[in-house]
């Protein structure tokens, strides 16, 4: 009986720890301070390319099952969420210059004390996504998705902790992050585009140092 009780409490404690790893960040300052509200349930679902295009936004939908009030908060006001060792920023709360990213959550990384996230190319950033694309867009996210090929393209941005705005992350910024690793710096300079698929291995190399 004693063994059964010990097993039960051990399992219960493990589940409690797992649940506590879900959290909501209300603001950018809360995110940088790692100050979050714990939630017992948090569903993070990856959208298909068609779904992402239909809402003109990011790759993930975040929700709490059967809680309309919380889901409304998650959609419009929550700044970021964490689930286990991963976290996601709310694109509704972000913009690059005068361009917005639309709805949904984008995957993000903590790297050297800064927050980097992966989202659609908007504005002048579209020219950096692929070597075959040099599109100048208008002022809406809809324009971005109307441009051929942009639905599946992603680039990296960094959130400026002072302004709260997104800044494009290209080869130059990552080259400086790789200071001390000459071989990766040289390899990076040989890349012919600045898409997220191309640059992510270099960012992760910085993260893993």
Residues 4-53: pLDDT tens digits? Answer: 544 444 444 344 344 448 999 999 999 999 999 999 899 999 987 666 66
Contact 118, 133 (CB under 8 A): no
Q: How many CB atoms are closer than 10 A to CB 13?
A: 10
Of the two residues 12 and 58, the one the predictor is more confident about is 58
Are residues 168 and 157 in contact, defined by beta-carbon separation less than 8 angstroms?
yes
Q: How many CB atoms lie within 10 A of CB 101?
A: 26
Beta bridge partners of 34: none
Alpha carbons 58 and 96: distance in angstroms, whole number:
14
Contact, 123 vs 143, CB < 8 A?
no
160, 169, 91: which is closest to 125 by C-alpha?
169
Mean pLDDT in the chain?
81
Inform me whether the pLDDT recorded for 208 exceeds 50.
Answer: yes
Taking the C-alpha atoms of residue 108 and residue 85, their distance in angstroms, rounded to an integer, is 11
Question: Smallest Cα–Cα separation from 52: which of 115, 96, 118, 116?
Answer: 118
Is residue 192 within a helix (H) or strand (E), and if so which, with residue range? none
- The answer to which of 24-28, 50-54, 114-118, 154-158 has the lowest mean pLDDT is 50-54
pTM of the predicted model, to two decimals? 0.79
- Which of 128, 156, 146 is closest to 56 using CA atoms? 146
């Amino acid at each position: 009986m004693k063994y059964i009780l010990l097993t039960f409490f051990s399992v219960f404690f493990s589940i409690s720890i797992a649940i506590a790893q879900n959290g909501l960040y209300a603001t950018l300052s809360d995110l940088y301070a790692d100050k979050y509200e714990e939630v017992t349930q948090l569903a993070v679902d990856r959208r298909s390319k068609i779904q992402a295009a239909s809402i003109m936004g990011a790759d993930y939908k975040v929700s709490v099952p059967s809680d309309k009030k919380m889901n409304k908060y998650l959609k419009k006001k929550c700044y970021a969420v964490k689930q286990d060792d991963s976290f996601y920023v709310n694109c509704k709360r972000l913009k690059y210059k005068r361009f917005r990213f639309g709805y949904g959550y984008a995957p993000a990384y903590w790297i050297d004390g800064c927050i980097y996230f992966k989202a659609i190319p908007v504005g002048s950033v579209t020219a950096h996504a692929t070597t075959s694309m040099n599109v100048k867009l208008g002022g809406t996210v809809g324009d971005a998705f109307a441009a051929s090929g942009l639905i599946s393209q992603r680039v990296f941005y960094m959130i400026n902790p002072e302004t709260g705005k997104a800044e494009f992350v290209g080869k130059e910024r990552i080259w400086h992050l790789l200071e001390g690793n000459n071989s990766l710096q040289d390899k990076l300079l040989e890349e012919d585009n600045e898409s997220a698929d191309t640059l992510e291995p270099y960012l992760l190399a910085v993260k893993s140092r």
